[in-house]
Amino acid sequence: MTLVPWPSVLKPNAENVRIDARTRSGGETINGREQVVSSGLGRWVMTLTVPLYSPETIRAWRSWLAMMDGRANYTLVGPCDCANANQVVANIKGIPYSDKTKHTDGAGFQQGGAAPAIAEAAAVGATQVTIFNGATKLPVLAGTFIGINDFLYVVVGVTPLPGEETRLDIRPKLRAAVAPDDPVEWCHARGPFRLLADDSGATEIQLARTGTATIDLVEVW
């Protein structure tokens, strides 16, 4: 299985991102009762709609889809969700002392710009991670998509901790172990996905000029 980079020129204008919980049941009784339990095997499924409006986007789409070789390969992609994500305070430079003077080199102090990162190691299968807040605008928001080590998660619970740390409850379970200082991505969270079916992405191009591509993807892990 080979990683096929997602073309930067292709910008989805609609998306449906959810976790397929993959629950299990013993069936419904004669009284209409049913017990359903989580299998613990939930994984992301995603539908992306991509406008093809120029020769460049049409060629990029054709090339990407061909290189995916149906379900054989995978790509790193995720929701375009910056508007709903936590934000990191911008890096401000040249801050002077209280008397308006700067360092002898004229550089001044710096503030902000520090991205969040993992604070404590966590094993595969964990549903909690602890992060250094960095310059994140607090509080951390439940419902935020986050990316860690090229896997996609969603925050479902937030516990502020003493100092500069926050504990996050996440879904799905950690796909790979995390270590201190691993970066946490707020805005452009990505994960590994392959086509749900070999024929996903079949697209009609009108008059060889414009079209709309819709693809169904499933997480690889």
pLDDT at 32: 77
Half-sphere exposure of 4 (CA within 13 A, CB side): 21
- The answer to whether the bond into 172 is cis (omega within 30° of 0) is yes
| Burial class of residue 117 (count of CB atoms within 10 Å of its CB; 0-12, 13-18, 19+) | middle
- Mean pLDDT, the chain cut into blocks of 10 residues (221 residues total): 96 94 81 79 93 95 96 95 83 57 57 80 96 90 95 96 94 96 93 95 88 95 82
Q: Where does residue 52 fall: left (phi above 0), alpha (psi -120 to 50 degrees), or beta otherwise?
A: beta
pLDDT at 97: 59
End-to-end CA distance of the chain: 12
Q: How is domain 1-23+38-78+190-221 classified at the CATH fold level?
A: Phosphorylase Kinase; domain 1 (3.30.200)
3-state SS of 66-101? HHHCCCCCEEEECCCCHHHCCCECCCEEEECCCCCC
Contacts of 137 (CB under 8 A, 6+ apart): 86, 87, 88, 89
- The DSSP call for residue 106 is S
- CA 72, CA 68: separation in Å to the nearest integer? 7
Among 169, 148, 167, 147, which Cα is nearest to 159's?
167
Contacts of 153 (CB under 8 A, 6+ apart): 145, 146, 147, 170, 171, 172, 174, 189
- CA 10, CA 84: separation in Å to the nearest integer? 21
pLDDT at 112: 45
pLDDT at 155: 96
- Would you state the CATH architecture of domain 81-87+114-187? Beta Barrel (2.40)
Residue 206 is encoded by which pair of tokens? 């009108």
pLDDT at 183: 95
- The DSSP call for residue 1 is -
**How far, CA to CA in Å, does 187 sit from each of 88, 109, 165, 184, 218?**
9, 26, 19, 10, 21
pLDDT at 139: 92
Question: What residues does CATH 2.40.30.290 cover in the chain?
Answer: 81-87+114-187
Q: Hunting for tokens 């499924």 — which residue is that?
A: 45
